[in-house]
Amino acid sequence: MIGNATFRHHNTALLAVSSIEAPVVVKSSDFDARLAPSLKRLKLSKRLLERVAGVEERRWWAPGTDFDDAAIEAGAKALAEAGIDASQVGLLINTSVTRRNLEPSVAVKVHNGLGLPSSAMNFDVANACLGFVNGMSLAATMIDSGQIKYALIVAGEDAQATQETTFRRLNAETSTRDDYLREFATLTLGSGAAAAVIGPADLHPEGHRILGGVSRAGTQHHELCVGGPDGMYTDTKGLLDNGLELVTDAWHEAHTDGWDWRSMDRYVTHQVSNSYTNAIIKAVNLVKNRVPITFPKWGNVGPASLPMTLAQESQSLNPGDRVLCMGVGSGLNTAMMEIAW
CA distance 58 to 332: 25
Cβ atoms 111, 120 nearer than 8 A: yes
Judge whether 97 lies within some domain: no
pLDDT digits (tens, 9 = 90+) for 201-243: 999 999 999 999 999 999 999 999 998 878 889 999 999 999 9
Interval 24-49 mean pLDDT: 95
Is 338 designated active site? no
Q: Domain holding 292: CATH number?
A: 3.40.47.10
pLDDT digits (tens, 9 = 90+) for 145-172: 999 999 999 999 999 999 999 999 999 9
Q: What are phi and psi of 208, to 5 degrees?
A: -105, 115
Judge whether 283 lies within some domain: yes
CA distance 306 to 296: 14
pLDDT for the residue 3: 58
Q: Is 3 helix (H, G, I), strand (E, B) or coil?
A: coil
Interval 124-137 mean pLDDT: 97
Return the half-sphere exposure (C-beta side, CA atoms, 13 A cut-off) of residue 253.
21
pLDDT band at 1 (very low <50, low <70, confident <90, very high): very low
Interval 182-198 mean pLDDT: 97
Judge whether 242 lies within some domain: yes
pLDDT digits (tens, 9 = 90+) for 312-329: 999 999 999 999 999 999
- Mean pLDDT, the chain, whole residue set: 96
pLDDT digits (tens, 9 = 90+) for 267-288: 999 999 999 999 999 999 999 9
Cβ atoms 255, 261 nearer than 8 A: yes
Is 129 designated active site? yes
**pTM confidence score:** 0.96
Residue 4, pLDDT above cutoff 80? no
Judge whether 121 lies within some domain: no
Interval 294-315 mean pLDDT: 98
Judge whether 39 lies within some domain: no
Judge whether 240 lies within some domain: yes
Cβ atoms 53, 274 nearer than 8 A: yes
Judge whether 241 lies within some domain: yes
Interval 12-19 mean pLDDT: 98
Give how many domains the chain has, as a whole number.
Answer: 1
Q: Which of 129, 157, 313, 325 is catalytic?
A: 129
Residues of the domain holding 221: 208-340
Judge whether 110 lies within some domain: no
Interval 175-202 mean pLDDT: 97
